[in-house]
């Protein structure tokens, strides 16, 4: 004889299992529970297997004893193999063992560990009845002598579907708290990133986007005073090739205004010196994030660059390693190399 519900439990939870079984049967469903439904002459194993196969749902009493029960584990495994809907009922505030978790992790269980148990019996019966009805695709068959009235029908918030999509109010409250904490963490992380970005773009290193770096009205390089119009970057006419010191404004670059093609010259710089930052020389009209000859800021200050072989108007740029954004720039002229003639005999 087929049964609607199989009750899986550890022998230590027999009293609880009997109470749940009685409430489900009072709702008009038939239950199979050991040892009550094992007929004389049947073997225990075959009776269990046949009963699970012929049931539409399994109520699994989840407790510490059930976690340690191989029999409960085998019954859960058999139910999954036979596509019998699992309805875990947690009667103790514990997590399922790894073995049981494998079978019940995809479903939400009903928490019935807060006493008294009697307060949970009717909601459990309502949930089980809704699952069985959904399995049947209609109301419970007329052969069941007891049915629940329309007024006592389970409310949607108290029911679980075959996939257990509706959670208990306790689970919903817990999930709201977790979601709120995660939201605060994400918002805080975004705020931290934006604050740091704002510091570099609008703080002491850069003004608003698209504006040049500010520099003092005058700087000195190799003993020569130079005024920078409009607060832009400035470079002196000349600098000492060796042993001389280039003085750089508070923020920016300082280098000779003119150098010979192919020569090595010094560029004094001020910047954050982040990992990967470098100084480069490019054509005056070169696109952003372009670089040719360059020197890393980590290699020292002033940096040493080699002028390109083609004469013309160029630009020195301080480029940030991570974003390739130009932090500072200064014009520089590359002059043709002077040819020398040697006297021959």
Would the pLDDT of 11 be above 80?
A: yes
Query: For the CA atoms of 251, 257, 258, 259, what is the dihedral angle to 10 degrees?
Result: -20
Render pLDDT for 287-297 as a digit per residue (tens, 0 to 9).
887 887 889 99
251: burial class by Cβ within 10 Å (0-12, 13-18, 19+)? buried
pLDDT confidence bin for 4, thresholds 50/70/90 = very high
DSSP 11: G
Would the pLDDT of 302 be above 50?
A: yes
Render pLDDT for 207-243 as a digit per residue (tens, 0 to 9).
333 444 443 444 444 444 444 434 344 444 444 434 4
What is the residue-wise DSSP string for 164-202? --SPPHHHHHHHHHHHHHHHHHHHHHHHHHHHHHHHHHH
Q: How many residues does the structure list for the chain?
A: 345
CA distance 275 to 298: 8
110: burial class by Cβ within 10 Å (0-12, 13-18, 19+)? buried
pLDDT confidence bin for 20, thresholds 50/70/90 = very high
- Percent of the chain at pLDDT > 70 equals 69
């Amino acid at each position: 004889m087929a049964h609607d519900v199989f009750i899986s439990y550890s022998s230590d939870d027999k009293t609880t299992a009997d109470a749940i079984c009685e409430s489900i049967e009072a709702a008009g469903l038939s239950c199979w529970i050991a040892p009550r439904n094992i007929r004389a002459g049947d073997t225990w194993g075959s009776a269990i297997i046949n009963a699970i196969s012929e049931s539409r749902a399994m109520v699994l009493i989840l407790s510490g004893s059930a976690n340690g029960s191989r029999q409960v584990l085998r019954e859960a495994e058999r139910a999954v193999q036979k596509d019998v809907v699992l309805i875990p009922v947690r009667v103790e505030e514990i997590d399922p063992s790894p073995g049981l978790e494998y079978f019940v992790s995809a479903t939400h269980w009903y928490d019935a560990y807060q006493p008294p148990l009697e307060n949970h019996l009717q909601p459990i019966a309502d949930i089980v009845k809704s699952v069985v009805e959904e399995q049947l695709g209609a109301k419970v068959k007329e052969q069941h002598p007891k049915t629940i009235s329309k007024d006592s029908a389970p409310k949607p918030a108290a029911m679980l579907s075959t996939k257990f999509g509706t959670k208990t109010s306790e689970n919903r409250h817990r999930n709201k708290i977790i979601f709120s904490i995660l939201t605060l963490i994400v918002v805080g992380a975004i705020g931290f990133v934006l604050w740091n970005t704002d510091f570099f773009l609008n703080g002491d290193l850069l003004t608003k986007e698209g504006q040049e770096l500010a520099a003092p009205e005058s700087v000195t390089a190799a003993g020569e005073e130079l005024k920078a119009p409009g607060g832009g970057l400035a470079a002196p006419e000349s600098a000492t090739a060796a042993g001389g010191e280039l003085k750089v404004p508070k923020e920016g670059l300082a280098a000779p205004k003119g150098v010979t093609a192919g020569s090595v010259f010094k560029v004094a710089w001020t910047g954050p010196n982040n990992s990967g930052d470098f100084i480069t020389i490019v054509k005056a009209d070169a696109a952003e994030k372009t670089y040719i000859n360059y020197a890393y800021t980590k290699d020292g200050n002033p940096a040493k660059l080699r002028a390109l072989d083609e004469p013309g108007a160029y630009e020195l740029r301080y480029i940030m390693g991570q974003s390739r954004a130009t932090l500072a720039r200064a014009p520089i002229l590359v002059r043709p190399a002077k040819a020398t003639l040697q006297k021959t005999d």
